[in-house]
Amino acid sequence: MPQTSPLKVAVCQYAPQLGAPEGNADRGARWIARAADAGAQLIVLPELASSGYAFTSETEASASAQGAEGPCLQSWVASCRELGVYVVAGFCERAAEGRFNSAALLGPDGLIGIYRKAHLFYEEQTYFQPGNRGFPVFDLPFGKVGMLVCYDLWFPEAARLLALAGADVICVPTNWVANFRRRVVDERGWVMGNYASVAVATQNQVFVAAADRIGREHEVEFIGGSCIVGPEGWLLAGPASRADEALLLADLDLRQAASRKQRTPRNHAFRDRRPDLYRELGSTSAPASE
Amino acid sequence: MPQTSPLKVAVCQYAPQLGAPEGNADRGARWIARAADAGAQLIVLPELASSGYAFTSETEASASAQGAEGPCLQSWVASCRELGVYVVAGFCERAAEGRFNSAALLGPDGLIGIYRKAHLFYEEQTYFQPGNRGFPVFDLPFGKVGMLVCYDLWFPEAARLLALAGADVICVPTNWVANFRRRVVDERGWVMGNYASVAVATQNQVFVAAADRIGREHEVEFIGGSCIVGPEGWLLAGPASRADEALLLADLDLRQAASRKQRTPRNHAFRDRRPDLYRELGSTSAPASE
């Protein structure tokens, strides 16, 4: 059961720097300290916060990859230990099976777990292996945490599986990009990732905390818009601006998510599902029409 | 392949009347005529447009149920024939297996197909059987059409299955209600059904045309907000107002949906899926945690 007192969550929106792992370790540590100073217990950093995003060569990608025991994650573990907080951070993972676009869950006692991005966007397909460990959920003292990364939000199966496995809050390190969109932001300043976050929250009765980045690397333009969403689907914080650094904070009563109550006394996000009608979703022969 | 010229779609937002099937048949026919007059080729009416929504007794529900050959659908088929249009309309279906909250697809040559709502909201569980025919897609001269009804949008599996089966446009007769929500509408005038419609569109690269109703029946307050959404997730029309009748129109290039292209040359809404990781979604033993 989640704790009865609210969980203060923070999402940190800033610009990691391409090809500067030491600088990115320090930068992440400063944001963790700033969020902890504001009272946050669970802190989310952007996707690939250790490495930057827009690799242009295998050499560059390889030089930025670190293992879970590498200096970047270890410096953030040191922050967790010192400040008594938990962190979800995107990082460029070097592993025996290859390189992954991963998110690490870190706490005062060290590395808790890793999620490897399952759905790779554009040139990520050149530099990363697709995630090979499914969608794990981690039981922390305050509640259950799942992770997704960026484009994963466009695959509702992923969030659904995390929620079915008990996630109360889904942390989303992300690098939403302007590229390839005819329209990036609407008249209210929302990016499409905000809508995707809302959908995941309301369909699954979970909290969603999405930490985006800002800035530009080569031709890739990042768009900010970080947000925190509650299980009824309404935004609790954000969207952050498109261009500026931002620290978003919200107090989450995780018991709201754990109930999975879908509004009425007779409805439930999971018991109302019809898995008897869903079999094809897990079929590898499902159509992929042109 | 969808037709190369745009499809003009209409959603009709109005108030069907509880316990007045003849009046509802006429009311629907008038809206079909009005939409056809505006050039619409595919016209969506609200959920339970034949019967109204808030039944308070078995007698009332039973008296409002009609078969596919009943006078209400037949009068709308007559409209389709006369005007050369296609209609998706919610209706209270009397069938051999029981009563269903259904959507009918009608055309100039008669009844084309029926979808029976799979996910029942609140008191619907008293008056209807859950849908027992899955999520069919119908191949029309202009493209492929799927149907969902209201609460189905909170189960992303349903829209995903329609899209995987080739749907270019998902028509959604709906009766979104204010009841049980702490917050019904946001500062921009969006109801949560708008967000759910956007999510379905962007995740599946389909068009979504959601026809809601207005008014009140007993304790149930309907909230309007009908909308039409394109595959990139941006609204093409709506949200309609919370209280007034509305006819929304949009020109849809269904080829946009049929490509399933997810923005970049290397991404695709379906080929990027990871069914190897999704097996549990179709498992009837999937957890339904409290």
Interface predicted TM-score of the whole assembly (ipTM), two decimals? 0.95
pLDDT for residue A28 is more than 90? yes
Judge whether residue A284 has pLDDT over 90.
no
A278: nearest CB among B157, B198, B289: B157
Active-site position among A47, A93, A124, A217: A47
- To the nearest whole Å, the CA of B162 is away from the closest chain A CA by 11
Annotation says B60 is catalytic? no
User: H/E element holding B104?
Assistant: strand B98-107
CB atoms B160 and A165 under 8 Å? no
- Asked if A195 lies within 8 A of B195 by C-beta distance, the reply is yes
The reply to whether omega before B287 is within 30° of 0 (cis) is no
Cβ <8 Å between A275 and B284: yes
Question: Has residue A290 got a pLDDT over 50?
Answer: no
Question: Which of B180, B272, B275 is opposite residue A283, by nearest beta carbon?
Answer: B275
B266 touches chain A (CB under 8 A): yes
A274–B119 C-beta distance less than 8 A = yes
The rounded mean pLDDT for chain A is 95
| Angle CA B244–B246–B250, to nearest 5 | 150
Which chain A residues are within 8 Å of B282, Cβ to Cβ?
Answer: 275, 278-283
The reported pLDDT for the residue numbered B260 is 83
- Asked if B203 contacts B182 with a C-beta cutoff of 8 angstroms, the reply is no
Q: For residue B117, list chain A residues with Cβ-Cβ distance below 8 A.
A: none
Count the neighbouring beta carbons within 10 Å of the beta carbon of residue A286.
17
Determine contact: A281 vs chain B, CB below 8 A. Answer: yes
Q: pLDDT tens for residues A73-92?
A: 999 999 999 999 999 999 99
Give the angle A86-A88-A91 at the CA atoms, nearest 5°.
Answer: 135
Show which of residues 137-176 on chain A sit within 8 Å of chain B, judged by CB atoms.
Answer: 151, 154-158, 160-161, 164-166
- Residues B259, A290: C-beta atoms closer than 8 Å: yes
Looking at the complex, report in whole angstroms how far the Cα of residue A44 sits from the nearest Cα belonging to chain B.
23
SS3 of chain B: helix, strand, coil, percent, to 5: 30, 30, 45
Chain segment B86-141, per-residue pLDDT in tens: 999 999 999 999 999 999 999 999 999 999 999 999 999 999 999 999 999 999 99
Q: Which residues of B touch A273 (CB under 8 A)?
A: 119, 155, 157, 286, 288
What does the pLDDT read at residue B52?
A: 97
pLDDT score of B90 = 98
Under 8 Å CB pairs connecting chains A and B tally to 211
Check pLDDT > 50 for residue A188.
Answer: yes
Alpha carbon of B46: minimum distance to chain A alpha carbons (Å): 22
- A246 alpha carbon, distance to own chain's centre: 16
Taking domain B7-282, whether its CATH number is 3.30.1490.20 is answered by no
Catalytic residue among A92, A150, A171, A227: A150
A8 catalytic? Reply is no
pLDDT by residue for chain B (290 residues), tens only, comes to 787 789 999 999 999 999 899 999 999 999 999 999 999 999 999 999 999 999 999 999 999 999 999 999 999 999 999 999 999 999 999 999 999 999 999 999 999 999 999 999 999 999 999 999 999 999 999 999 999 999 999 999 999 999 999 999 999 999 999 998 889 999 899 999 999 999 999 999 999 999 999 999 999 999 999 999 999 999 999 999 999 999 999 999 999 888 888 788 899 999 999 999 999 898 876 554 44
Minimum CA–CA partner of A190 in chain B: B234
Separation in Å, CA of A45 to nearest CA in chain B: 24
pLDDT tens by residue, A87-133: 999 999 999 999 999 999 999 999 999 999 999 999 999 999 999 99
Q: Tell me: the pLDDT tens digits for A198-249?
A: 999 999 999 999 999 999 999 999 999 999 999 999 999 999 999 999 999 9
Global pTM value? 0.96
Contact A94, A65 (CB under 8 A): yes
Among residues 207-246 of chain B, which lie with CB inside 8 Å of chain A?
A: 232-234
C-alpha span between A88 and A156 (Å, rounded): 21
Dist CA B230 CA B257 (whole Å): 8
Contact B232 A272 (CB under 8 A): no
Active site residue B8: no
How much is the pLDDT for B4?
79
Helices (H), chain A: 21-37, 58-64, 71-83, 124-127, 156-164, 192-204, 255-258
% of chain A at pLDDT higher than 90: 89
CA dihedral (A215, A126, A11, A260) in degrees, to 10, reads 140
User: Which chain B residues in 87-116 lie under 8 Å from chain A, judged by CB atoms?
Assistant: none
Would you call A270 and B260 a contact, using CB atoms and an 8 Å cutoff?
A: no
Query: Which of A289, A281, A285, A189 lies closest to A235 in space, CA to CA?
Result: A189
